[in-house]
Structure 1
Amino acid sequence: MNTGLRITVFAAALAATFGTAYGVGGTVDAISPEPKGGAHGGPDGHMAAGHEEASGGHGAAAPGGLEISQGGYTLDLKTPRIEAGRKAELRFAVTKDSTGRKVTAYQREHGKELHLILASRDLSVYRHLHPARAADGTWSTPVDLPKAGSYRVVADFKPRGGEALTLGTDLAASGTYEPAALPERNTTARIDGYEVQLDGDLTPGKASEVTLTVNKGGRPVGDLQPYLGAYGHLVALRSGDLAYLHVHPNGGPGDGKTQPGPEVSFTATAPSAGAYRLFLDFQHEGTVRTAAFTVHAGGVMDGEKSSKAEPAEEEAGHAEEESGHAH
C-alpha cells in the first residue's frame, strides 16, 4: 500500500468523482428508470426510488442516492468538508426548487422525519443517523469520521404532500488518506458478542429473499425489540457508485405472524451485478447494533476470497440525535 497522502479538499472532490472503485463493483450496469409501482411499500403504502417493496419486492427498482436533485427538491450540504478524527457538526437542508426555500414539513417514515446514511467510498465506514431539524428547516447531527477520504451522504425522506425521495451528495474528510479494499465476502458478522448469519443471495434484476439470524453466546435471540417499527432494517450500498437500496422486513411487530427473532427476512432486488455491502440494524436489550456483510449479485468473482466470519464492525454504527454517538 502506498504511504499516506495528505489530501486536499480538491483531491477529495476528484476522488469522489473519478476515484477507483474497490472490489468488483468498479463497473456497474446502467440504471434504468424506476418502473411504475416499483420501489417501496411502507406503512402508508407509498412508493419511492431506493426502496424495496416490503411484502414482495418484485421488479428491479432503480436505486436511490445517486442524484443531488430529484422530484423538485435538492439536498443542500452546508458542511461539504470536515476533518477526519475530529468531532464535527454536519449541517444540511432540503430545498424546494420552485421556491428556493428550505423544507420544514415532513411526513414521518418508520418513526422519523428523515433517515441519513453516511458511508465511505470504500464502504469500510458506515453510519445510520437521525439528525435533528431546526425550525428553519436546517438539519444537524454530530459526526466523528475515523478516516480521511470521500464519503457519500444519503438522505431518505418524504416531504409532506410529496413523494418519498432519496437524495445523495459527497462529503470530504481531510487528513492522511490511505485507500482500503472492499471488505472480503462474508456470511457471518460478529458485533458486541452477537453473531449474525446471512443466508440467501442477491440476484441481479430479480427479487430474492435473504434471511439474517441473530445469536448471542451460541443461543438464538428470540426477543429482538422493535426498532423504527420493525425487528430489523437492512441497507444495501453498491460498491463503486454507492447506489442506495433500502429494503424492509417481510412482516413486522403486531402483524400476528412475525416472531421477534432470531430470524429476520427481507426481499430485495439488486439493480445490477456487482458487489454490495449490507448493513443490518437490530435492537436487543435496549441497544441498536449494526452487522455488516459483503455480498455479490451474480456470483463470486474469480480468485475472490471468502470469509466465514469477521470481527466486530467497529466502523459500522448507528447514532441518534439524542445521544450523538455511534453504537
Structure 2
Amino acid sequence: MHAGLRITAFTAALAATFGTAYGVGEALDPVIDDATPTARHDTHPGASPEPESGPGDGEGDGGHGGHEAEPAGGLQISEGGYTLDLATARVAAGKRSELSFVVRDSAGRAVTAYQREHDKELHLIVASRDLGTYRHLHPTRAADGTWSIPVDLPRAGGYRVFADFTPAKKGAENLTLGADLAASGPYEPQPLPAPRRTAKVHGYEVRLDGALRPGRAGELQLTVSRAGRPVTDLQPYLGAYGHLVALRSGDLAYLHVHPNGEPGDGTTKPGPDVSFTATAPSTGTYRLFLDFKHEGKVHTAAFTVRTGTPGTPAPSEEPATPHDDTSGHGH
C-alpha cells in the first residue's frame, strides 16, 4: 500500500437483489478481537506530520493548517483504465468460501504485474456494511492474473470488497477499486457501538487520543498496553508498527492512513504509542480499525468515532467488553 493517506467513498448497494434476506448480525463493542486497503495516500511514513492538534481531548481548534480531503473516489469498480472483475459476488455466511477476482486493464486483459507495496502486490479489505466485520486480506495471484483467498464471513449481509494496488506499468498510480459482495442469511441489522476512548482485544488495551476532523488534518494517537503496562516492543507488520483504517457509517467512505514514522528510521519507537495524521472526508460517524503485531500475532482493535464538530460529546471512558471475533487477517 502507498504509504500515506487515502480516501475512498462509494454508494451503498442493496442486498435485496439476491432474493433472500441478509443480516449484518450483532454489532461490535469498540473491540474487535484478533484478526487481520484504497485510492491515494498523501502522508508517507517518516514524513513530518502536520497535525491540527496533538493527542488530548481532541475538541479544540488551532494548530497547523489542515489538508483538504481528496475528491471522493473508489466507489467506482473501474478507474484509471483498470477494472475490478469480482468472480465471487455471493457467499454463504458462516461457511468457508473461495473469494476470487481479476484486475483488468483497458483492453480487458488480466493484469499480471504489480509494484510491491508494504511487502505485498495487492491488499484486500472486506468490510460489512454495518461495520461489524472487517478483514484485511492478502490473496494469492495465479500466473494468469487471478487472485484468490479463502474467506469465512461470520454474519450475513452486504459487504464491500476493496482491492488496493499499483500496476507495474511506468507512471501508474496507486488505485483502489471496489465491488459489492453479499453473504446470505437472516437479516438482523444492529446499530454501531457508542464512541469510547478504549478498546480491549485479547488481553491488550488500546487507548485512542486526538480527533478525526472533517476537511482538516488532525493527529490520532493510539497507545497499546497489556496488564496495565505499556507495550514497548511492538513488531513491524507490513513495514509499520500499526495500520489504521476508518470507514464512514452509511456509505462506507474509506479513509486509510499509515503511522507517522516507520521501523528503522532512527526516531520511531516500537510502542507503546503509534500516531497517525488523518483527514476525514466529511462530518459523520466512523469505525476505526487498528492492526498491530506483538509476540508474533496480529490483533485488531476497533473504535467508533464521531468527527469533531461544535458540541460533539467526548467518547465515554467506560471500558468496552471483549466481543466475538469478527476481524481477520489473511495471506
- Map of 1:3 onto structure 2: none
Distance 2:216 2:105 in 1: 34
Q: Which of the numbers 275, 280, 283 marks the counterpart of 2:293?
A: 283
Task: Give me the CA root mean square deviation.
Answer: 2.7
Q: Which of the numbers 192, 197, 205 marks the counterpart of 1:195?
A: 205
Q: Is the 8 A contact 2:234 2:271 kept in 1?
A: yes
Distance 1:110 1:12 in 2: 38
Q: Which moved more, 1:198-207 or 1:298-307?
A: 298-307
Distance 2:328 2:72 in 1: 22
Q: State the TM-score, normalized to the length of structure 2.
A: 0.80
- Map of 2:330 onto structure 1: 320
- Cα gap change, 1:288 to 1:64, in 2 (>3 Å): farther
Paired residue type of 1:60: A
Q: Deviations over 1:53-83 (max 9, x none)?
A: 8844833223553221111111111010000
- Map of 1:225 onto structure 2: 235
- Map of 1:62 onto structure 2: 71
Paired residue type of 1:251: G
Distance 1:241 1:131 in 2: 25
> Are 1:273 and 2:283 matched, yes or no?
yes
Distance 1:303 1:270 in 2: 18
- Cα gap change, 1:301 to 1:77, in 2 (>3 Å): farther
Q: Which of the numbers 73, 85, 89 marks the counterpart of 2:98?
A: 89
- Cα gap change, 1:163 to 1:313, in 2 (>3 Å): farther
Q: State the TM-score, normalized to the length of structure 1.
A: 0.81
Q: Secondary structure at the match of 2:299?
A: strand
Gapped regions of structure 2 (runs ≥ 5): 1-14, 25-38, 51-65
The CA deviation at 1:303 is: 9.4
The CA deviation at 1:243 is: 1.4
Distance 1:318 1:54 in 2: 31
- Map of 2:159 onto structure 1: 151
Gapped regions of structure 1 (runs ≥ 5): 1-5, 17-33, 46-52, 322-327
- Cα gap change, 1:261 to 1:305, in 2 (>3 Å): closer
Q: Is the 8 A contact 1:64 1:243 kept in 2?
A: no
- Map of 1:262 onto structure 2: 272
The CA deviation at 1:248 is: 0.8
- Map of 1:31 onto structure 2: none
Q: Deviations over 1:232-267 (max 9, x none)?
A: 000111111111111010001111111100000000
Q: Is the 8 A contact 1:125 1:316 kept in 2?
A: yes
Larger RCO: 1 or 2 (CA < 8 Å, sep 6+): 2
The CA deviation at 1:149 is: 0.8
Paired residue type of 2:75: L
**Aligned residue pair count:** 286
Whichever structure has more strand as a proportion of its residues is 1
Structural mapping, 1:143-222, within 5 Å: 143-161=151-169, 162-222=172-232
> Are 1:134 and 2:117 matched, yes or no?
no
- Map of 1:25 onto structure 2: none
The CA deviation at 1:301 is: 8.0
- Cα gap change, 1:275 to 1:80, in 2 (>3 Å): same
Q: Is the 8 A contact 2:196 2:317 kept in 1?
A: yes
Q: Secondary structure at the match of 2:185?
A: strand
In percent, how many aligned pairs have the same letter? 63
- Map of 2:306 onto structure 1: 296
- Cα gap change, 1:256 to 1:313, in 2 (>3 Å): farther
The CA deviation at 1:298 is: 3.0
Q: Is the 8 A contact 1:55 1:251 kept in 2?
A: no
